Amino acid sequence: MDPPTHGLLGAVIGQAAFGRTLGPRALAAGAVAAMLPDLDILAIPTSPMAEWLYHRGVTHGLATEAAAGALLGFWAWRRDLHRAPDRTDTLAAWIGLLATSLLSHSVLDACTSYGTQLLAPFSDRRVAVDAIAIVDPFFSAALVLALAVALFRGVASRAAGVAGAVALAFCAAYLALGLNLNREAEAQARAELAAAGWPGAEVRAYPTFLQLPLRRLTARQGEAWRVGWLSLWRPRPIEWQEFEEPRDPRVDEARRTPEGRILEWFAGGQTAAALVATPSGLAVEIDDLRYGSPDRPRQGLWGVRVRFDETGRAREPAERTRRGLPVPASALLLRIWRDAFS
């Protein structure tokens, strides 16, 4: 999720569970702790592949966050003792607040499609349950409303605690709804594809920006792909756009490059390749199909490009590609909103 939403979630956790014990500090500390795991973005400038390799890595591991929460909580408690020696009862509150806020970051990130290494540093497996987009105003607004109650009624008030608990319950239900919508979208897609002569296709659904109902769907059978969009607000038959990957040894070689292997791991195998002509010769472009525009079903928002020389050998290193939007962002977001609810 976007950093502000992480901060809002951490603040509401502090409000709901620790506001009476720690007061306004619970909101501030919860917000900061919930955003801390994204400090791994400092590694991004180190290489073109660093964002995929290191973001949502070890700083997002549940074990790392639990240990960091305990250490930071103990440190915060010691600071409390220096300021108010009689406050010896806040150790559990500080550890609970900071550990829970840190852990909330990775749990929420894992609900998106980007993928989060929850078991790092012990495993690099990426977990993504595809429940919600990385930006969702409804989710964030519930947290803002809860904090508004704390602002006007006081952090330690009963009203603030109840508002925080209600907001957290709403957010949990909202994520569950998103996950259920994803399953419904995949079920409809499988049924339609089976009826159209594509039984047994590998089907995946992905959330799209700013809302829950509209899902991006990918279906794969061999080298053939279909990409479509479906709104669960008012479901209707999916209009699939179909294409095939070229059967060419250069595609396999491109996937075997270090950059190609990183993309395959990062995207969970949801990639499609194409042969393209460039001024310096042929190249293979491999795109992450989890994210993309309705006008360009074959292309994702990012991927890798592997250039080949005249002998058919890959030129290393491969390039990371970032594709601009086909239309202004405002127009694309308006279309997504319209397709979701009209």
- For residues 16, 22, 27, 29, the Cα torsion angle rounded to the nearest 10 degrees is -130
Q: Which amino acid is at 208?
A: T
The average pLDDT across 101-109 equals 98
How crowded is the C-beta side of 216, counted as CA atoms within 13 Å? 23
- Residue 83 scores a pLDDT above 90: no
List phi, psi (to 5°) of 204: -135, 145
For the cut 80, the answer to whether the pLDDT of residue 47 exceeds it is: yes
CA 263 to chain centre: 16
Average pLDDT rounded to a whole number, residues 35-47: 93
**DSSP E strand stretches across 115-223:** 202-207, 214-221
Report residue 7's pLDDT band, with 50, 70 and 90 as the boundaries: very high
pLDDT averaged over every residue in the chain? 93
> Do 212 and 181 meet the contact criterion of CB atoms below 8 Å apart?
yes
pLDDT tens, position by position, 276-324 = 988 878 999 999 999 998 888 899 999 999 999 887 788 888 999 998 8
At residue 278, the pLDDT reads 84
Across the range 27-34, mean pLDDT stands at: 97
pLDDT score, position 311:
79
Average of per-residue pLDDT across 10-23:
96
The arithmetic mean of pLDDT across residues 242-255, rounded, is 93
Res 55 pLDDT > 90: yes
On the question of pLDDT at 95 being above 90, the answer is yes
DSSP bridge pairs for 216: 206, 229
- Show me where the domains of the chain are located: 3-128, 245-322
Q: What is the DSSP letter of 127?
A: B
Most confident of 9-13, 21-25, 87-91, 218-222: 9-13
pTM, 2 dp:
0.93
- Please tell me the predicted confidence (pLDDT) of residue 87: 66
**Residue 88: pLDDT over 70:** no
SS3 227: strand
Strands of 271-278's sheet in order across: 271-278, 281-288, 302-308, 314-322
Confidence band, pLDDT 50/70/90 cuts, at residue 86: low
Q: Which tens digit of pLDDT belongs to each residue from 134-176?
A: 999 999 999 999 999 999 999 999 999 999 999 999 999 999 9
pLDDT at 203: 97
Compare 327 and 75 and report the one with higher pLDDT. 75
DSSP 296: -
Q: What is the pLDDT of residues 256-265, one digit of tens each?
A: 999 999 999 9
Question: Per mean pLDDT, which range of 193-197, 232-236, 307-311 is the poorest?
Answer: 307-311
The angle at the Cα of 61, spanning 147 to 50, to the nearest 5 degrees, equals 100
Q: What confidence category does residue 82 fall into, taking pLDDT thresholds of 50, 70 and 90? A: confident
Report pLDDT for 284. Answer: 95
Q: Determine the pLDDT at residue 315.
A: 86
Who's near 78: CB < 8 A, 6+ residues apart? none
Residue 17 burial by Cβ neighbours in a 10 Å radius (0-12, 13-18, 19+): buried
> Averaged over 44-70, what is the pLDDT?
95
